[in-house]
Chains A and B, each alone.
Chain A
Amino acid sequence: MIHLLAFGMIADVLEHPEKDWPWSADTAMLRAALIKAYPELRDLPFVIAVNMDVAGGEQPIPPGATVALLPPYSGG
């Protein structure tokens, strides 16, 4: 399992901003699994942070990682 966090408009889609979720080996596979479960995510921009790290492009996910779905930031 992984610990999944969602923020902003992505949290609205997932209904719960925090949940346990089946492990995927990398962010591309996780994105595909999420879109299958929540088709609305296909049209929404978001990056995936693994243990608070937003790598450029896809990255592996260690089992038990905290994985966050981050839509474009709008602080300030």
Chain B
Amino acid sequence: MKNIFIQGSIAASFIGESIAKHQSKTDIGAHAIFLGQVRADVIDGQPVSRIDYTAYEDMALQKVHEIREAAFDKYPLTCMHIYHSLGSVGVGEISFFVFVSSAHRAAAFDALREIVDAIKADVPIWGKEIFAEGQGSWKVNQ
């Protein structure tokens, strides 16, 4: 099963290199990319300084595999790459990267949204929002 986890934040250079790797795949006409960035929420007056991510890794990889297969069955995609951070990611840094490619834009747009929503709903990953003072509170997804 493909690993999706990256320790710490996902660097902009890693995302750029991922895009560059597709130049040889000339049947692709459209890429769609989602990047999740850690937001400086203020909770009970305390600003968030980072999120610490943990996961039930074995189950998460199994769930992502199912989501990936379902998307390939439903949409004419050329390829799909999914990455999520584990450990600490500071505000303003990237923690979630989904990249889908297809011949035409409609499949890439539609699949991207479905994959991102499914990962947030069905994959056992947790974020703890850590305040500048050190305490934290468990993140609740919207």
- Which residues of A approach B to under 8 Å, CB–CB? 5, 7-9, 11, 49, 52, 68, 70-76
Contact = CB atoms under 8 A, between A and B. Distances in A.
Contacts of A7: 54-56, 124, 126
Nearest to A44: B138
B123 interface: yes
Assign chain B's interface to a size class: 20 to 34
Interface of B: 36, 53-56, 58-59, 62, 84, 95-96, 116, 119-128, 138-141
A7 B139 CA distance: 13
A75 B53 contact: yes
B56 A74 contact: no
Contact of A76 (B54, B62, B95, B138): B95
A76 B120 contact: yes
A71 B54 contact: no
